[in-house]
Structure 1
Amino acid sequence: MSSSSYGAVLRTPGAARLFGAALIGRLSYGTVPLSLLLAVTATTGSYARAGWVMAVFSTVSVLLFPARAGLVDRHGPRRALPPMAAGYAVVLVGLAVVTWRSGAPYPVLLVLAAAAGVFAPPLGPVTRAQWSRLVTEPELRRRAYSLDTVAEELLYVTGPLLAGVLASAARPAVGLVLSAALVLGGTLTLAVSMPREEVSTGVNSTADRAGSRGLLSRARQPLAAAAGAGAGLGAFSLLAVVFAGRHGRDADVAWVEAALAAGSAVGGLALGAVNWRAAAGNRLTALTAALGAALALAALAPSLPVLAVIAAFAGLAVAPTLTTAYLLTDEIAPPEQRTRAGAWVNTAFNAGSSVSTALVGLLVSRIPLTVCLLLAAIPVLAALAAAAPPRRRAGGVAVAES
């Protein structure tokens, strides 16, 4: 059933080219973090400095993500994406050059990391916005979003592996050069595959800001769900490392992460393959509750294998939760704000993950690990209080979702 469903998605005119180009460009986001971390560590000899460089890159990228997506909505992918990709690629090559040998000036690394965060193109939101235009039938669109989310998660698994191989076989800076080539090639191919009528939307800046505020208000449920999921998973990932260290070796956490990723892939594919009767808002409520409950069970794990099994169950809800959040936000957003709407979901997820990881890092040495694992579920469950299913647009009129 699932093969025919996903095959129908890829047989949609223009879908295969969109999907292929997006995967190439987005693979860069899987290879950059580890490559940059290893390259900075090698040139400075300091994990602390490497951590700060990564923090600057991530913070700037996350904070400016909606703004870059807004430029795409305003000017169209054909016009907005190539300059971003070119700037991002140039900065990555610059980072590769300065980290090729030891002794790179630390302030230069911080400036280049910030510049990379400024230019990083919003390929995920752009791709999902294009799925909405290519695939108009609701069930098929759900499968397209599921396929997209699962593929993106797999890229974040294979990307670090590729970066690690390059760092071992050559040097970490080579991974930065590869990342630049991937993002430039994939983004340019993606941009030229867009319909020419998407070049400009002609959005007035004042109306644009007002529309953004209205969008954030209407999309409170999917944004809260994404932030809660990011917070819960960010905390769980750090706590799993601590758990593994106390029950064996730190490296054993890889089994927990693999179980979480495998469960997420299965759940994401199932979401697209099954015909669901429940409305998107109701599905999101149920999935968020399931994810929170599964993470809470981690507090009862007596051993690493049991924690891995619980992680696999939690993973079953991860991709479906994010996919449904994207779908619901897409339903709520007017066509001229779809890219930005997807970017806000990304931003909510990443912001939740960053904040929770920092807080858990402070708590884990002060309170029992079991209590910390239980606390990791709280932001996910708290997202259920965000609101009843939001109002969505139907024929230009906002109506309550049934």
Structure 2
Amino acid sequence: MLSPAPSRAPSYAAVLRTRHASRTFGSALLGRLSYGMVSLSLTLAMKDTTGSYSVAGVVMALFGATSVFLSPARAALIDRYGPRRALPPMAGGYAALLAALAYATWRPGASSLLLGVLAVTAGGCTPPLGPVMRTLWSSLVPERELLQRAYSLDGVAEELLFVTGPLMVGLVMRFSVPAAGVAISAALVLVGALALVSSPAVRGIGATPSTQESSGSQETPHKQWLLGIVGLRHAAMVAAAVGLCLGALDLLVVAFTEQHHQGAAVAWVLAALSAGSAVGGLAYGAVSWRASNRVRLPVPAVGLGLTMAVAGLSPDVYVLVAVVAAAGAFVAPALTTAYLVADGSVGEGSRTQAGAWVNTAVNAGSSVGAAAVGLLVDRLPPAACFAVAAVRRPPRPVV
């Protein structure tokens, strides 16, 4: 059954034809392309300047930890003061620190301690462009069906950015050193963030502290810990489960392909995952669902888990590629629904934080999945590891 038609015909074209949508979305994507490039660029630059994979790994772990786990705090500043006041200082500080890292890693011999301090500080300043854009989508296209398509389009575009980013790093390295990729990442995030806040769609976004405090809404962060809100907590748990599967999958694919003496096939398997996610996200967003987002929330996550379990039974790499592509078809729908539930569970003044909590849950789940499978992959056959990753549930959030 289809839901009632919104005021505009629900389509991806209608989303992009919405006033100011294309300009705002394009600006956000330009800045978010930085995130698709920076991890690989920075890892390679760290390794080149220190000559140590261990140092590069530790520094990148610190960078990732501060970026992910401080995301809700940065989002709270966006909600409190609005993107136009809070985003430029974050983007400026982040870009300046990335530029400092690029300078420090351009030649061999940089101090590991200096690199660690710069990376930790940069991670703490990472501007939450994804959550900000999803908050803006809620203002640009408030109709339920158009918002679903907007979030699906956003998720698919983000998936493609994380495919395009490493390809751009490879292109940069043909002509320069990895540190150049770090410098380009700094420029992208600064230009994208400034273009985003200059959009008319950003005007008026972000309630003042006094407005939030006087609203009396139970979703206001001053009144209630956000993860105490049932809908947001469920969305974060599903996102963590998806992240756990994805974090486990990367290592499991390496183990599977090496066991079958086709290590080079890893790239094809992971490309199939991204392609499946893009197709699944666009198809999911195009359907007018009658069931509510909360009812649909666990369905794609369960589909991802079941397909992951089947992937471990693949007889060869070719079948694995096909099954992983099918698994990918559940990824974007699961995350899109989680973001929609999170957005609908909180008040207008907390939407950026809600999206940031979903982001944090995905990344935390991914880290747990990678760590857990890393302990199991040498002790169990790949098929058993796939099954464990498929059924393992993330810990219940502390509220």
Q: Shorter-chain TM-score: what band? A: over 0.9
**CA shift in 2, pair 1:236/1:86, >3 Å:** same
Pairing 1:71–2:77 present? yes
The answer to whether the 8 Å contact 1:39/1:172 transfers is yes
The answer to whether the 8 Å contact 1:221/1:386 transfers is no
What is the 5 A alignment of 1:126-141?
126-141=132-147
Identify the match of residue 198 of structure 1 among 202, 205, 209. 205
What is the 5 A alignment of 1:159-308?
159-193=165-199, 194-198=201-205, 200-202=207-209, 203-204=212-213, 208-213=221-226, 215-308=228-321
- Name the residue aligned to 1:399: none
C-alpha deviations, 1:332-374, integer Å up to 9, x for none?
1110000000000000000000011112111111222221111
Alpha-carbon distance in 2 for matches of 1:197, 1:284:
31
Give the number of equivalent residue pairs: 382
What is the 5 A alignment of 1:29-68?
29-68=35-74
TM-score, structure 1 normalization: 0.91
Post-superposition shift, 1:301?
A: 0.9
**CA shift in 2, pair 1:196/1:63, >3 Å:** same
- Name the residue aligned to 2:158: 152
The answer to whether the 8 Å contact 2:10/2:145 transfers is no
**CA shift in 2, pair 1:212/1:14, >3 Å:** farther
Alpha-carbon distance in 2 for matches of 1:386, 1:362:
22
- Name the residue aligned to 2:379: 366
The more displaced of 361-370 and 192-201 is 192-201
Identical aligned residues as a percent: 54
Alpha-carbon distance in 2 for matches of 1:137, 1:212:
28
Alpha-carbon distance in 1 for matches of 2:229, 2:173:
41
TM-score, structure 2 normalization: 0.92
Post-superposition shift, 1:47?
A: 1.0
Alpha-carbon distance in 2 for matches of 1:310, 1:214:
34
The answer to whether the 8 Å contact 1:88/1:180 transfers is yes
Alpha-carbon distance in 2 for matches of 1:137, 1:259:
32
What is the 5 A alignment of 1:316-327?
316-327=329-340
What is the 5 A alignment of 1:345-356?
345-356=358-369
Alpha-carbon distance in 2 for matches of 1:245, 1:312:
19
**CA shift in 2, pair 1:366/1:77, >3 Å:** same
**CA shift in 2, pair 1:214/1:307, >3 Å:** closer
SS in structure 1 of the partner of residue 272 of structure 2: helix
- Name the residue aligned to 1:92: 98
Alpha-carbon distance in 1 for matches of 2:374, 2:202:
46
Alpha-carbon distance in 2 for matches of 1:195, 1:304:
47
Alpha-carbon distance in 1 for matches of 2:36, 2:226:
31
**CA shift in 2, pair 1:5/1:28, >3 Å:** same
C-alpha deviations, 1:83-114, integer Å up to 9, x for none?
00000000000000010100100001111110
The answer to whether the 8 Å contact 2:297/2:338 transfers is yes
Post-superposition shift, 1:198?
A: 2.4
The more displaced of 198-207 and 286-295 is 198-207
Unaligned runs of 5+ in 2: 1-8
Identify the match of residue 122 of structure 2 among 116, 122, 127. 116
Post-superposition shift, 1:208?
A: 2.6
**CA shift in 2, pair 1:13/1:134, >3 Å:** same
SS in structure 2 of the partner of residue 197 of structure 1: coil
Alpha-carbon distance in 1 for matches of 2:350, 2:141:
17
Unaligned runs of 5+ in 1: 388-402
Superposed CA RMSD in Å reads 1.9
Alpha-carbon distance in 2 for matches of 1:199, 1:330:
15
The more displaced of 242-251 and 173-182 is 242-251
The answer to whether the 8 Å contact 1:22/1:127 transfers is yes
The answer to whether the 8 Å contact 1:167/1:173 transfers is no
- Name the residue aligned to 2:19: 13
SS in structure 2 of the partner of residue 301 of structure 1: coil
Post-superposition shift, 1:244?
A: 1.2
> Which amino acid is the alignment partner of residue 332 of structure 2?
A
Post-superposition shift, 1:168?
A: 2.6
Post-superposition shift, 1:262?
A: 0.6
**CA shift in 2, pair 1:255/1:326, >3 Å:** same
